[in-house]
Chain A
Amino acid sequence: MRITTIDYHTGGEPLRIITGGLPEIPGDSMLAKRRFMQDEMDPFRRFLMLEPRGHKDMYGAVLTGPVTADGDVGVLFMHNEGFSTMCGHGIIAMVTAGLEQQLFEVRDAQMIRIDTPAGRVTARANQDINGDIVSVTFLNVPSFVLQDSCQVSVDDLSVAVTIAFGGAFYAYVDAEPLGFELVAAESGRLIALGQRIKQAVNQQIVIRHPQGDDDLSFLYGTIFVRKAETAGHSRNVCVFAQGELDRSPTGTGVSGRAAIHFARGEIGLGEEIHVESIIGTAFTVRCVQEASVGGLPAVIPEVTGSAFISGEHSFVLGRGDPLPEGFFIP
């Protein structure tokens, strides 16, 4: 077995893009392909994401053919726990890599049609005069607020959470009353509390996608929010999967943020906000259009960020290696 990858990072968050060595993934929709990978190919995910080949905060992408008549490419995303439905930093990295490394064919670099498990995402590469890609902008799936400001009990704490969808469901929490500055030194405590909040929300609030799709009806993570120390609008720290802490501002997470602020009348259509991460990298997001999802008001968010290559890898399984599927230390 030999699996090749090209690794990029978007605002510090890795994306390991598999370029060779995986079998075909059957399924006539991206959700069906995702289910197949979950059921039949999870050892590949563990091999590539977990230690010793990956690490606790590794993230990966598998490119497939499109599943729609007009699609350019399909993508599945994976992390330390399983397979996600959509990933914003992943879209930015896969589009940058796709064009820089010719990983897939595109008809128009200004209109790249990507099939994700959460639905159609459209992206464009922003190039400088030399043709180098400086950033990627994508139109996300319709994003909406499921429940604004509801109280959940987290052990002895009562925490106000807002549930919104930006490709996946997140519980948004105000960091300030909880005493967090949202800096790297707090990462251990943020991970611990983020996981407890996610668990509490899962027990106390029914997360149901309004179109009734079971594969999308789950809470992906907790996002801590507070105002930015810099000129930016705010800071976002997302804890997802098994205690992964996003180094980027989280593309789907800032999409949910845009939906929340638009619903509350705090931003208008076209109004940009800059959201920064725990390490100070930023994404720009704005609502470009109103929409509706299963009767709920929604917006189409547009997210911009930059990705960079970090290396090319070829993974093998050594004869007698007792850790073929890696290991995970929480």
Chain B
Amino acid sequence: MSGAVKKTFHCIDAHTCGNPVRLVYQGAPELEGDSMLDRQQHFVAEYDWIRTALMFEPRGHAMMSGSILYPSKRDDCDIGVLFIETSGCLPMCGHGTIGTVTIAIERGLVQPRTPGCLNLETPAGKVSVTYTEEQGKVRSVRFTNVASFVHSTGLEVDCPELGGSLRFDMAYGGNFYALIEPQEIYADLSQLTAADIVRLSPLIRDRINQKYTFNHPDDDRLSHMRHVLWAGKALKPGSHARNAVFYGESAIDRSPCGTGTSSRMAQLAARGELSVGSTFVHESYIGSQFNGRVEASARVGDYPAIVPSIEGWARIYGHNVITVDPDDDPFWAGFTVT
């Protein structure tokens, strides 16, 4: 990156149900544009090195993710959020929203107009959030997600590694997900190790993308599938189901995954297993839980859809001052081992 000079970034790190959220509160650049989507484009074009420096090794790691706050120019939003990930910038991120709101409220980075409610402008649009507080600490955050729907069901993909063909459904919950449920050659999530998931998922993802295309009726820029969700039986009391979401090149979400949970709820609603007002407790690979709720029914293009909300918790674990010096450090912009 030309023009990069030594920079110091001040970050507050938290984790949402085990998945990291690194909020950059000092050192991020001014961005041009009226909307957060415009500003994200400016960031990607000119400042992507900030993302790689803060997310990749040696300053971050394969599972790192984060956010940057900007004032919103929308009258109906309190603050704008840019999501930064190892895989790029995401228009919307569920665990990132929960962690970002927790940090922003606890550290006074935003003043909500109505205590307990916050309206975020994300690159994907407005996201409404409620949160509960106890003695100055945010205990839980619930966000209302975008309309989520099932795109197609009963699709098949070859998986000779598991000994045959895998059936899956394709659903959207802010991102497209290939939903793989237990079946003949995949008894349950508990039969796969983390290494298995990391090895098999990118192969399956490639084969699915070669065989099928998935169009979002509202915006063609949303029409791609990069996430594989392995569904399984709940292990913890109170959970309805368990899942592991694979994304990027080698990452398994440590949280139950907000957009993945939304896509799974859309699938269950389409089967009549959930309806407006139903709750759905989803468990992550490490056993942490999100509480989903069907808020309303909706339509996306011709697809019947639901509006889900997702509740989870985050805890702040540290404050980092991160140095990036292109003149001194050959790995100032980070590296990946995948």
Contact = CB atoms under 8 A, between A and B. Distances in A.
Contacts of B64: 55
A329 B322 contact: no
Contacts of A320: 137, 139, 315
A107 interface: no
A318 B336 CA distance: 30
Contact of B335 (A279, A309, A312, A321): A279
B303 interface: no
Contacts of A314: 318-320
Contacts of B288: 322
Interface stretch (B12-20, B41-49, B143-151): B12-20
A283 B61 CA distance: 23
Interface of A: 7, 9, 12-14, 51-53, 55-58, 184-185, 187-188, 192, 245, 247, 278-279, 281, 308-323, 327, 329-330
A51 B18 CA distance: 7
B337 interface: yes
A314 B337 CA distance: 26
A53 B316 CA distance: 10
Interface of B: 13-15, 18-20, 57-59, 61-64, 137, 139, 193-195, 198-199, 250, 252, 254, 285-286, 288, 315-323, 325, 328-331, 335-338
Contacts of A52: 15, 18-20, 254, 317
Contacts of B323: 309-312
A12 B331 contact: yes
B286 A187 contact: no
Contacts of A9: 57-58, 331
A12 B318 contact: no
Contacts of B315: 318-321, 323
Contacts of A14: 57-58
Contacts of A327: 18, 254, 286
Nearest to A321: B315
A88 B193 CA distance: 32
Nearest to B332: A308
9 tightest A-B CB contacts, nearest first: A318-B315, A52-B15, A9-B58, A55-B61, A311-B322, A321-B315, A308-B329, A315-B318, A312-B321
Given A192-B195, A278-B337, A321-B315, A310 B252 contact: no
A57 B57 contact: yes
Nearest to A54: B61
Contact of B252 (A192, A317, A329): A329
Contact of B58 (A56, A310, A317): A310
Contact of B317 (A57, A192, A315, A329): A315
A6 to B, nearest CB: 9
B338 A56 contact: no
B329 to A, nearest CB: 4
Given A52-B19, A52-B317, A327-B286, 9 more contacts: A9-B57, A9-B58, A56-B61, A247-B58, A308-B331, A312-B320, A314-B319, A314-B320, A318-B14
A188 B18 contact: no
Contacts of B338: 184-185, 187
A1 to B, nearest CB: 11
B337 A184 contact: yes
14 contacts: A12-B331, A51-B20, A52-B254, A53-B317, A55-B63, A55-B64, A56-B61, A278-B337, A279-B337, A309-B325, A310-B329, A312-B320, A313-B320, A315-B317
A232 B293 CA distance: 58
B99 to A, nearest CB: 10
Contacts of B193: 330
B137 A319 contact: yes
A182 to B, nearest CB: 12
Given A319-B137, A327-B286, A313 B318 contact: yes
Contacts of A185: 338
Nearest to A58: B61
Contacts of B286: 327, 329
